[in-house]
Structure 1
Amino acid sequence: MLPECSRDSRMTPAVVLILLAVSGMPCRAHATNIAKGGKVDQSSLYGKGVPERAIDGNRASKWGDDSCTHTHNDFSPWWRLDLQKQYKITSVTITNRRDCCHDRINGAEIHIGDSLNDNGNSNPICAKISSIAAGASKTFQCNGMEGRYVTIVIPNKKQYLTLCEVEVTGETTGNTPVIATNIAKGGKVDQSSLYGKGVPERAIDGNRASKWGDDSCTHTHNDFSPWWRLDLQKQYKITSVTITNRRDCCHDRINGAEIRIGDSLNDNGNSNPICAKISSIAAGASKTFQCNGMEGRYVTIVIPNKKQYLTLCEVEVTGETTGNTPVIATNIAKGGKVDQSSLYGKGVPERAIDGNRASKWGDDSCTHTHNDFSPWWRLDLQKQYKITSVTITNRRDCCHDRINGAEIHIGDSLNDNGNSNPICAKISSIAAGASKTFQCNGMEGRYVTIVIPNKKQYLTLCEVEVTGETTGNTPVIATNIAKGGKVDQSSLYGKGVPGRAIDGNRASKWGDDSCTHTHNDFSPWWRLDLQKQYKITSVTITNRRDCCHDRINGAEIHIGDSLNDNGNSNPRCTVISTIAAGASKTFQCNGMEGRYVNIVIPNKKQYLTLCEVEVTGIETEEESEEYVCN
């Protein structure tokens, strides 16, 4: 075999010619450097030491020559060459730095193969580098090893990696291995919360830039169990997930994170099976985790059971579609009607079904009640559903622990504003700004109510999402029969006419022009004439909220056909102990019969104010004959 026309870097062309003349031997052509047409990457970037410097055709070996690569002081730092095709590699020549630190290369390995697992560092080893003299170029024989990738790594050691030139010789095999496409880029993303401009889309922008200032990294708040989720839109068999970690700061924040894959959105996808647990990723490094064909539509990265920031500078996913697109339950809350115990500021109940998980009060997307006793929020789905799940997004800028102890109730009853329906779940806590899903396992009902029972508290909900399927039934909801009646009261204070209590408006401030008002009467009363006799099911009273809500304490509801003592002598349905400020409270009257509904504060000098009175019942077959004793 003819010797290769190569030379030591110290030989001049004249010396080579003299040696050839002396030997009398011809030589074969010098193998082409196939590295120069490739693409390169490395574990991180120090200064201007970009990975392209190692294939610029320049063996200059001083840092100031601008011809050497440089990583940070990474654990297992690496540099990788993608030859774009598969080659039989003959040799790899490395030029080492000469002005400083030439022993940093000691212990490095050259790997060759077609895999990108562990950034190509899991491919077979061509050579282990014991040392290269300062500024020297050393050639390592690879004897026809096949591969698309040439990787140089210093394994299992924290070190800087600097390469002043890498030259590769070999011949193509004619094969271009199929490299799995990154399927993440076409997906949709979400995360537990948003810090600054660190939107979740940054992790699938195709850019592995790993400094916060590069505008290519995601960022959550300091959440409990922070998460990031990718929706691939279809079900895939996932081969691998590659994560690029932040390099300018805080790279150890990723420690302990989990990669989960599956089709469920329970707990925001964090209940799906685990592909891998991340022990660590070096600063600025990209690390690949094998998932071995796990099937799923969702890829979630979560740091479980810990309060932490989650930052991802890139997430790449490889896999092949299974051909299945799992059916994702529609959010049925958005088409419903809503109400709540009271209104604080602009925190109307509709904000919880606006389709927006924004979780700061200033985002104008969160509901807010007053500091009510047993505050509640209720969704009317308009039909009966079998409820699968309820997802609640909590406020993040303040007061996230206010939700602690809340209950989710589901059913068809409006008794106690729906709070008497069966319980789906009790909420122990929801992290600030987080969205938490509760399973209701097919509970049937038209109403979904969230209440903080037996406690004085504000209730704020930034989003409520409900999944389920209709049962085909629309429960009959009793009509408010008060609105068609006639009203009277013991006296009139200001503009507080008795008709305000049946105007269909639960507004509960005096300035809203929707509340009645008597003078400071002895035994003040308000009366509703239904015009016919009814079997009364319930009476709902909305109390004033801006002032004096305790004036209603001790009031009684009477029902019957008599006008004796202005109707206050009729049988008593109930005694009102309290109604929270601005709250609406329902009292059951169990079919008591009568034409008149009276509310009276007996044997006491007091003002009586009612902001709304609603009555449900069924008309009796015969109208009672009225007897009035003058």
Structure 2
Amino acid sequence: MTPAVVFVLLAVLGQTSGQSGSNIARGGRVTQSSVAFGGVPERAIDGNQARIYEQGSCTHTNLESRPWWRLDLLTTYRINTVTITNRGDCCHDRLNGAEIRIGNSLNDNGNANPRCQSINSIPAGTFTTFVCNGMEGQYVNIVIPGRPEYLSLCEVEVTGQLAVSNIAQFGQVTQSSVAFGGVPKRAIDGNQASNWNQGSCTHTNHESRPWWRLDLLRTYKINTVTITNRGDCCHDRLNGAEIHIGNSLNDNGNVNPRCAVIHSIPAGISKTFMCNGMEGQYVNIVIPGRPEYLTLCEVEVNGQPSGNTPNDQNIARGGRVTQSSLGWHGLPERAIDGSRASIYGQGSCTHTSRQRKPWWRLDLLKTYKINTVTITNRKDCCHKRINGAEIHIGNSLNDNGNANPRCAVIQSIPAGTSKTFVCNGMEGQYVNIVIPGRPEYLTLCEVEVNGQPSGNTPNGANIAKGGKATQSSVGWDGPPENAIDGNRASIYGQGSCTHTQGQIKPWWRLDLLKKYKIDTVTITNRKDCCHSRLNGAEIRIGNSLNDNGNANPRCAIISSIAAGTSKTFACDLIEGQYVNIVIPGRKEYLTLCEVEVTGIESDDSFEHPYG
């Protein structure tokens, strides 16, 4: 079957998700040619296929010549498919003629890379999958050439496999010392130049047991390690060096299992050592047993991600984040994006406004025993701003979490470096970083947390059960109290689900009897039939009973909840006595099999993030 036929079939049949394989777009970074109407580029990889612009999940550029959107996958992939969801409320033909381009170049912002497909059209509110037949690239661009236009994307999903055989160049490196400017990063710069004056070789001091270490950031099964030796002199210095691979940092990683001993590598030559699938996050090269210089002109590593994870897995990546304010587009999510990039313009650092006592908070969603917190500081300027910051850990949201017990005070972190603070198993759901005592900006380029789930539970009890429920009408004996009976039974005949009449804008309301700062709302959907009725419902929270409470601020839109399952929505501490679930804009039945709410009692001194 030809690629053209495959594409036509996918375009016709692909309205139920044309992808086979995981969506690798979600782990990437995005940018676009401009931002209009709040349509930031991250919306296209938020995992939400909502097609109505007001639902807050579509991107938007200005009207401009050749608007574009770019996904950086952070490494090279062989791209199988690109699936694009188009806007449904208006303007679907704006995408006509757009092009999908894939490659490794940033010339013309990536728009000069080879073309996978041209988008003839995508019907309003639907998605189409485009087959790219294994095209290789780190960047996926969508660009509208040839005319002034707006570019709006409601979701972009990408499937593919890692293509780059050398996984070393995406890691982080360090070594026992630096001499003559021979920094450790030179060994993973992609350049096998072997003469010292070409500026591509590392160099330590003359010392006992010099070493160099590569951190692959996750566990891999290592097939081979290829080392390029110096060519202009001194090639026998590497004789007797050892390659070690594993997940331990004991003795700086040099006690991990040994893959090979380097008996010799001729001057200026690259030699490959077989490691036969040894598992590890760290690759060390060490010269044991004698004082020596260690020089490496290139280290290349081939392997595949392992199904295992090291004992120091970063649990921050699965959490939710917020901060006291937002400055210079420095979103709080940037600190848990998996990138230690420390130049602000690289788009991976947070930033608050200048304020008294700025803070950033990570919600781990359950209680952990926290071993360590690692913080990467900004490099291009202002690294002293973090001096005196404190790390707090606990289960309370009093003072936005800043009143929890203190793990450590950050005296200083050198520019562009990462520093680890030991917290000795402190228990908590929340990790806060706060600068007390002075007006300041708070910028974090990465926060990594290591710990294990605790047997204790946070102050995340379901406060819905103590409230009173009502709804717009009652049908089929489904009273509103059924949604707060503590039972997630999702078959209607089991008697634990609510039900309204079929009506315009049906609603259900929970009165918590006092004001709370709402953290999460969890909804269990009906299983035996009709689960799509909840699609498009809204969660609203506040203190007003105008329009029966449906005019209060919106926490979330329920795009969908699978039949018989429970889904949790984060409400970022919206304050209110009332929690409403309403289906706006159409005649519908509203059925809820359980509604669970977590939060803490409100007080007058609470100041919501972002003011």
- TM range, normalised to the smaller chain? 0.3 to 0.5
With structure 2 as the length reference, what TM-score do the two structures score? 0.37
Q: Larger Cα Rg: Structure 1 or Structure 2?
A: 1
With structure 1 as the length reference, what TM-score do the two structures score? 0.36
